[in-house]
Amino acid sequence: MTSLESVSAPTVERGRSRDNPAEAIFLSRRRLNGQGSEKTTWHVEFDLKPSELDYVVDDSFGIYPKNHPALVDQTIALVGANPRRSINDKALRDVLIEDVSLGAPPDNLFQLLSYISGGDRRAKARALANGEDPDGDAATLDVLAVLRKFEGLRPDAEAFVEALDPLQPRLYSISSSPKANPGLVSLTVDTVRYRLGPRDRLGVASTFLGERIMPGEALKVYVQKAHGFRLPADSKTPVIMVGPGTGVAPFRAFVQERQATAAGGPNWLFFGHQRLAHDFFYEKEFEAMRKGGVLTRLSLAWSRDGDQKFYVQDRMREVGAELWRWLAEGAHLYVWGDAKRMAKDVERALVDIVAQWGVRSTEEAVAFVAGLKKAGRYQADVY
């Protein structure tokens, strides 16, 4: 009989889990927006050959970012600690850069501050630890803002680190096909940067990839398998892709894959952003694919170029008759992007198109779209 001690958990292959990452080499970044754009979006590439990792479209790529050194230095100054103080055989500064989150403050941090404060500040720290919002600013706080809120308190550096949450990896949809780019993986990343009160707030991973990591540097990564968001098994099946903004990432991979495998099915991409002059991601590449016949149709929507905002769902309605014909001929439709607005608006447009051009009642059109989902012909990867 096998003892419990001899039973071990199955080993996950390196680079196939967030708990067992591999190493990739950062190769390059290039900005996808033109000058004058209100956004900053990057195409970033990594070399997977050292890790021997592989992937398929539409897997996701997890990266372990690092906190901004300037944010870390400000944090250390407010704690009043020596940046070289050893925490578990690692310098405090390196721990704060690589290992812990400096974003939303955990309850443990407020509890720690309550132990070393008194009077009104102790009451306030306890209230925040209990999920209350005594000053109406809890939703805007990060770790640095908390230290400024309780300025003058000096928690022990080791206790401070233990009170923080681990720095989590970030997942991105892969924007390349391994068949077209062996040993390489690319991402399409929007930089997150906004003003809140007296400070600029930075997206940890997006500014790490867009500004701080340098070509040739290694970073921890892993591949997360997709669940159902896949190209049709039959390469002759028509494919309709709706991906505005960075939502185009998996569809760039889809089209590269269809081109590399000489798939016979037609491909239709709906892409949209703010302005044609500044925000047409991968313009030359997609135009070359359109001229070469890989992209059968390329439908574009620019929300800020006219007197009224115009989105991908508006373009879908405009070409509704043709879109219905593709669906009637067995096309698979894919949507990637914002769940709260875009994806809902796209589905509403799809129902309207089915009702109008499929000559159905609204209830029948809703049932038809539900049937597409059940059959795996309508797939949405939303966030």
The structural domain count of the chain equals 3
Domain CATH for 105: 1.20.990.10
| Tens digits of residue pLDDT in 19-35 | 999 999 999 999 999 99
Do 182 and 273 lie in one domain? The reply is no
- Report the percentage of the chain scoring pLDDT > 90: 91
Helix (H) or strand (E) holding 31: strand 22-31
Q: Would 8 be classed as within a structural domain?
A: no
Q: Is the pTM of this model over 0.85?
A: yes
Do 157 and 219 lie in one domain? The reply is no
Residue range of the domain that includes 104: 69-163
Do 212 and 252 lie in one domain? The reply is no
Do 192 and 108 lie in one domain? The reply is no
Domain CATH for 259: 3.40.50.80
Do 204 and 326 lie in one domain? The reply is no
Q: Would 349 be classed as within a structural domain?
A: yes
Q: Would 96 be classed as within a structural domain?
A: yes
Last residue of a domain, one of 163, 190, 206: 163
Residues in the chain: 383
Do 216 and 119 lie in one domain? The reply is no
Token couple for 257:
């894959």
| Tens digits of residue pLDDT in 120-140 | 999 999 999 999 999 999 999
Burial per residue of 15-43, b for 16 or more beta-carbon CB atoms within 10 angstroms, e otherwise: beeeeebbebbbeebeebbeeebebbbbb
| Tens digits of residue pLDDT in 58-114 | 899 999 999 999 999 999 999 999 999 999 999 999 999 999 999 999 999 999 999
Q: Would 12 be classed as within a structural domain?
A: no
Q: Tell me the mean pLDDT in the region 249-259.
A: 98
Token couple for 187:
């991402």
Residues 6+ apart with CB under 8 A from 123: none
Do 345 and 203 lie in one domain? The reply is no
* Percentages (nearest 5) of helix, strand, coil residues in the chain: 35, 20, 40
Do 248 and 372 lie in one domain? The reply is yes
Do 157 and 75 lie in one domain? The reply is yes
Q: Would 337 be classed as within a structural domain?
A: yes
Do 88 and 211 lie in one domain? The reply is no
CA dihedral in degrees (168, 171, 172, 177; nearest 10)?
130
Task: Measure the CA–CA gap between 52 and 47, rounded to whole angstroms.
Answer: 10
Strand partners, 46: 26, 185
Task: Measure the CA–CA gap between 168 and 158, rounded to whole angstroms.
Answer: 20
| Tens digits of residue pLDDT in 270-314 | 999 999 999 999 999 999 999 999 999 999 999 999 999 999 999
